[in-house]
Chains A and B, each alone.
Chain A
């Protein structure tokens, strides 16, 4: 907000935010909240002001949530807070020597500090037929609008990839009355995110809801004359399909940083305060590879929590306030009436402890490593999830018998 006669844009400091997604929106908010009065410019490739992606595969796909309700802040927020929002525009180059960014419309903008909040993009698979009409990926509002336009009741949809996004698409399109099949190459669904008992639960859940799930199925080709007609697997099986949605993971948007000579390693390398090796360049969100003291390793995360917290950390660092971001990662997924909440990271566990009854659609899987709680998958089990967030951060060791004992309230374990 220009006050005190500060109208000379030539002498005003300029902070550019590259990308205009969830993290970028939060960064702009935090920059203003921390008192930064200079120019803030957000540049985004998509046509929309920063919005929240989680609902894309959930309530937005099933038609239960209007587009306006996806926005992170109301679109008028930016102008009101003197934030320039440049949409439909790609940043094509970051020149760290001249401290400029080049835009796809030919403009070149000088910056004092830059934040890379470029997020990630879907992993494309080089299969024959992926360009046929009727074949979709899912990352943006535009993608979902395309999918929804093809979702006539009774249509056959084949989902390639049984990760959480694929399964959410299955649940949402089932709700729309489609005939749904999920093809997964691994031996179980969500193999990257959850343990086997939880995969088993979700496979059974989807089967009960009328979805066909086939694991161990490598898709070989998508076929059709002028549009998609069928999906063909390596074992020769053929699935009739009006629509296919491919959800086989994402890759971080790290190329701008890489071409500018910044270190990248499965994400843009930053420290705990979201700083790159260049004191004027910061990065936050899906695009980063960052340290985490609780897990004593570097992480690249794909979650709203990480995008928001890193954005706050980076914006503070841009204002000269250095805070380390060290938190227990958390995440959720909604499928039918089931809420899956995940806290921590289960990689490297040596024991799984179950609490509750999967047949009641209400249980938790705790992951222990040498007796220490490192992660939980909670299915309609909020106390297990909320308590675990605290216990994981504290490196708690809790006897497996206690964790499994439903007569011991979770709350008593954190006291």
Chain B
């Protein structure tokens, strides 16, 4: 379980508990947080679950796979800490994680 803070583009903050075994995208969908579309349901096939990981958390969230990186390469408003949230698995070590959501997905 980890407490994760999702910050919408307009600044709205959502602090929610996400169970171990889910991914960061599912944490948003399950808690009805707007701003993540997740069209493919977490298959790393749509790039509509784009988030910016807080710089302090980049290391803990791990390295994106080659496939994820190439998907991100074509996303709008790419930043240094961009990730596809369906590819970040949640466990205790992510307790306190902060992610920001882009203005649009896809």
Contacts and interface: CB of A to CB of B under 8 A. Distances in A.
Interface of A: 52, 54-55, 58, 69-70, 73-74, 77, 80, 304-305, 308, 332, 334, 339, 341, 380, 382-383, 386-387, 411
Contacts of A339: 43-45, 67
- Nearest 10 A/B pairs, CB to CB: A382-B70, A386-B74, A332-B45, A52-B41, A383-B70, A74-B30, A382-B71, A382-B67, A308-B39, A77-B32
Interface in B61-106: 67, 70-71, 73-74
Interface of B: 22, 26, 29-30, 32, 39-47, 67, 70-71, 73-74
A54 B41 contact: yes
B34 to A, nearest CB: 8
A386 B29 contact: no
A308 B41 CA distance: 12
A305 B39 contact: yes
A51 to B, nearest CB: 9
B41 A55 contact: yes
Given A73-B32, A74-B29, 7 more contacts: A70-B41, A80-B32, A304-B40, A304-B41, A339-B43, A383-B73, A386-B74
A74 B45 CA distance: 22
Nearest to A414: B74
Contacts of B45: 332, 339, 341
B39 A304 contact: yes
Contacts of B44: 339
B74 A387 contact: yes
A327 B45 CA distance: 17
Nearest to B67: A382
A31 B39 CA distance: 18
Given A54-B40, A380-B67, A411 B32 contact: no
A73 B41 contact: no
Nearest to A390: B74
Contacts, number: 50
A54 B45 CA distance: 12
Contacts of A305: 39, 46
A386 B43 contact: no
18 contacts: A73-B32, A77-B32, A80-B32, A304-B40, A305-B39, A305-B46, A332-B45, A339-B43, A339-B44, A341-B45, A380-B67, A382-B67, A382-B74, A383-B73, A386-B47, A386-B74, A387-B74, A411-B74
A131 B46 CA distance: 38
B40 A332 contact: yes
A77 B71 CA distance: 30
B32 A74 contact: yes
Given A52-B41, A54-B41, A69-B22, A386 B70 contact: yes
Contacts of A77: 32
Nearest to B75: A386
Contacts of B40: 54, 304, 332
Nearest to A65: B42
B76 to A, nearest CB: 12
Contact of A54 (B43, B47, B67, B70): B43
A383 B44 CA distance: 13
Most chain B beta carbons < 10 A, residue from A69, A74, A383, A387: A69
Contacts of B46: 305
Nearest to A411: B73
A69 B74 CA distance: 27
Contacts of A332: 40, 43, 45
A62 to B, nearest CB: 14
Contacts of B39: 304-305, 308
Contacts of B22: 69
Contacts of B32: 73-74, 77, 80
Nearest to A384: B70
A305 B48 CA distance: 11
